[in-house]
Structure 1
Amino acid sequence: MRLDVTDNPVISGMSRIFDMMCLNVLWLVCSLPIFTIGASTTAMYTVMLKVVKNEEGYIVKGFFKAFKENFKKSTIIWLILLVIGGFLGADLYLTSSAKGSVGMALRAIFAALELLVLAVGIYAFALTARYENSIRGTIRNALTLTLARFPSSILMVAIMIALIGISIWNLQLITFALPFWALFGVSIIFWINSKLLRRIFAGIEDHTEEEVEE
């Protein structure tokens, strides 16, 4: 399947919607074993970073190629982040019953660290999709970008949490949200993130080229 660029905006729009649906389903299916979420996320960013610049080729082929090529590295990064996030989640749960200002401060710290891990994960898988680097280097760069591009980091995390929070607000919304997430929800988040990440990466690459020229 290939996104065909045509002069007809209706056909182009329908083609884009279909590809977004396809990517959404691919990510969900390939993430079902749980431990493959990292590889699936990297594959999604590999394709979506091209989609936002209209550079995409064959969607399904590109997804599975990236899934296979980055499986080991992405899985290790995912497991590292999962363990760290799990420990922070456990700490947050254990301090949920703590009273007073100390308990509130601890919960705020653990919640902030949990969000930090989420932001680092966004950058880590996107970096894996776009650049060659070691696992340690990728995580280090992801942390650096999270802090250096803090407004964008907050925005990506906030959008994700807001969409999920609205979806589970009540039973009526959950009923509506299920088909939304099954068809579009995941791909929309990746599309928004990829728009922001593409600008960040472009700025880094332009800066690097200027240093090389000097």
Structure 2
Amino acid sequence: MQNFFQGKGAKNMNSMFGPETKFFKVTNQIGNILLVSVLWLIGCIPVITIGTSTIAMYYAMVKAVRCEEGYVTKEFFRSYRQNLKTGIVLTVIFPGLAAVLWLDHSYTVKQVSIVAGALEMVYLLLAFVIAGIVLYLFPVLSRFTMDVFSCFKLALFMVFKHLPTTILLLLLVAVGVVLALLIPIPMIFVMPGVCCYFGSFLMERILRKYMAKPQSKEEEEKWYYR
């Protein structure tokens, strides 16, 4: 038995569970995705910091989890601190817009007229646009150094420029929300990170189209160009 742990057995165990094996890398990545989910939930506890936490979640997911640069917790809170004020403002604005739309919808849905039907279509379109802007705005803020209004305009442009991707991302988030509502435990600890992880593959294809081309080989090797 001793020879097993010191000889071929030990080598086999290392080949299966060593830090360079695919099994270890996949397990480590799953653990990091779950860690990002938990950090996002913690960052959302004050409620008004949901936007801040979402920006930090995307930043940490792409940089630390997917590109394997830095530590998840460190990168999350680095972005959290940098975007704290901006995230709070956005957390107040977007639910406010959603509340106004819902009140208008609640009034017009009781009306029976052509005008009311037309208004319902307008509200539906506005809800789609607002949801799309939210999807793009937080990743844009995590990536680009621009003022909030410029990021907002870019996010609005992306909603329609990349409409199929917008629809796919909305469906992905909708599935995550439904699962979290139906099975709160454990999905509330799983779905934020899972949605962010898989959504980032779609999002990164778009973000890179708006990034300046690297001016040197050194710059090309930075995590956001990988």
- Shorter-chain TM-score: which interval? 0.7 to 0.9
For residue 78 of structure 1, what is the aligned residue in structure 2?
Answer: 91
For residue 14 of structure 1, what is the aligned residue in structure 2?
Answer: 27
Give the % identical residues.
Answer: 23
For residue 209 of structure 1, what is the aligned residue in structure 2?
Answer: 213
Mapped to 2, the partners of 1:97 and 1:132 lie a distance apart of 45
Counterpart check, 1:179 vs 2:185: yes
Q: How many residues in Structure 1 have an aligned counterpart in Structure 2?
A: 197
Normalised TM-score (structure 1):
0.83
Call closer, same or farther: CA 1:46–1:167 in 2, change over 3 Å.
closer
Mapped to 2, the partners of 1:204 and 1:135 lie a distance apart of 16
Q: Which moved more, 1:45-54 or 1:182-191?
A: 45-54
For residue 15 of structure 2, what is the aligned residue in structure 1?
Answer: none
Secondary structure in structure 2 of the residue aligned to 1:133: coil
Matched-pair contact (CA < 8 Å) for 1:49–1:195: no
Cα RMSD over matched residues? 2.1
Call closer, same or farther: CA 1:53–1:22 in 2, change over 3 Å.
closer
Mapped to 2, the partners of 1:6 and 1:131 lie a distance apart of 34
Higher relative contact order (CA 8 A, sep 6+): 1
The list of structure 1 runs, each at least 4 consecutive aligned residues, that deviate by more than 6 angstroms after superposition, is none
For residue 143 of structure 1, what is the aligned residue in structure 2?
Answer: 156
> What is the CA deviation profile of residues 40-62 of structure 1, one whole-angstrom value per residue up to 9, with x for unaligned ones?
00100111122564243200111
Call closer, same or farther: CA 1:158–1:66 in 2, change over 3 Å.
same
How do residues 39-78 of structure 1 correspond to structure 2 at under 5 angstroms?
39-51=52-64, 53-78=66-91
Mapped to 2, the partners of 1:157 and 1:56 lie a distance apart of 28
Which of the numbers 129, 139, 148 marks the counterpart of 2:142?
Answer: 129
Structure 1 residue 140, shift from structure 2 partner:
1.0
Secondary structure in structure 1 of the residue aligned to 2:34: helix
Mapped to 1, the partners of 2:132 and 2:140 lie a distance apart of 12
Which of the numbers 44, 57, 61 marks the counterpart of 1:31?
Answer: 44
Normalised TM-score (structure 2):
0.79
